[in-house]
Amino acid sequence: MAAKISTKDRIVEAGRTLFNAKGYGETSLSQIAAEVGISQGNLTYHFPAKRELALRIQQEAQNSAVARKQTYRPGSVAEDYIEHLLSGMDLTWQYRFLFRDRAQFIADQSDVDPNAALIADFEELHFLIIRIENEKMFAASLLQDRQELTRSLWIVSRYWMNYLSEIEGLEEITWRDQERGVEQHFAVLMPHLTKEANGAFRKAIDQAKHRQGEAPCG
């Protein structure tokens, strides 16, 4: 028998769904309560203010990122790179309002650095770029500043899900949408790699495609 989901967890999930779809500013506590099927008074018993709910969802996203790092078993640099890329896309999609609307609810959050998770993600990508260089996977004739390359790659990955939501108007994404994001990323990365490295990265994405199939994401 499946475990019963608590009212608080149902509120968190409904909040995440509505904040993603409508935006933090356009979503009211009464709308979230209606989505859950409870009174607004019941909701505010758990979350007295909308900002508290948003911060709880932010903590859930951070916990998810930590859990992923704890459970992932490292492989080749190409496999680790693709895993980092896809898991980042998935997290960004599931919690897209945090990236899009966070300026609306992080005010006075003096005890927490709101950019910490983004900085950690950037640093993880930069470490992977260093691994690629150490394994001599960059073409010698195409060497460039690694920090600059990391910035370009991170920007592509960071904003791909925003593009799908805000430009293409998607409400649900599939593996193919993630794969398109990888291709955008590869358009920046691949010209800097050796022929052998290109093959290793293509193989890693094919393996990921085989594992994930065409199922909807987040």
- Is pLDDT above 90 for 140? no
- Residue that wins the pLDDT comparison between 91 and 211: 91
What pLDDT score was predicted for residue 1?
47
What pLDDT score was predicted for residue 107?
63
Same structural domain, 3 and 96: no
CATH number at residue 18: 1.10.10.60
**Residue 82 counted as domain residue:** yes
Same structural domain, 175 and 118: yes
User: What confidence tier does 142 reach under pLDDT thresholds 50, 70, 90?
Assistant: low
Same structural domain, 9 and 72: no
- Domain housing 192: 58-212
**Residue 141 counted as domain residue:** yes
- Is pLDDT above 50 for 217? no
CATH number at residue 183: 1.10.357
What pLDDT score was predicted for residue 214?
47
**Residue 188 counted as domain residue:** yes
Same structural domain, 78 and 26: no
**Residue 35 counted as domain residue:** yes
Same structural domain, 76 and 173: yes
Q: List, for residues 103-138, the tens digit of each pLDDT value.
A: 888 765 555 565 777 888 899 999 999 999 999 999
- Is pLDDT above 60 for 10? yes
The total number of structural domains that make up the chain = 2
pTM, entire model: 0.84
Residue 217, beta-bridge partner list: 173
What pLDDT score was predicted for residue 26?
95
- Residue that wins the pLDDT comparison between 214 and 196: 196
Alpha carbon distance 202, 190 (integer Å): 10
Same structural domain, 159 and 77: yes
User: What confidence tier does 201 reach under pLDDT thresholds 50, 70, 90?
Assistant: very high
- Residue that wins the pLDDT comparison between 82 and 116: 82
What pLDDT score was predicted for residue 66?
87
- Mapping DSSP onto H, E and C, the string for the chain reads CCCCCCHHHHHHHHHHHHHHHHCCCCCCHHHHHHHHCCCHHHHHHHCCCHHHHHHHHHHHHHHHHHHHHHHCCCCCHHHHHHHHHHHHHHHHHHCHHHHHHHHHCCCCCCCCCCCHHHHHHHHHHHHHHHHHHHCCCECHHHCCCHHHHHHHHHHHHHHHHHHHHHCCCCCCECHHHHHHHHHHHHHHHHHHECHHHHHHHHHHHHHHHHHHCCCCEC
Average pLDDT over residues 176-204: 93
**Residue 217 counted as domain residue:** no
- Is pLDDT above 90 for 157? no
Same structural domain, 121 and 154: yes
Same structural domain, 172 and 131: yes
Same structural domain, 39 and 146: no
What pLDDT score was predicted for residue 113?
63
Same structural domain, 76 and 95: yes
What pLDDT score was predicted for residue 114?
59
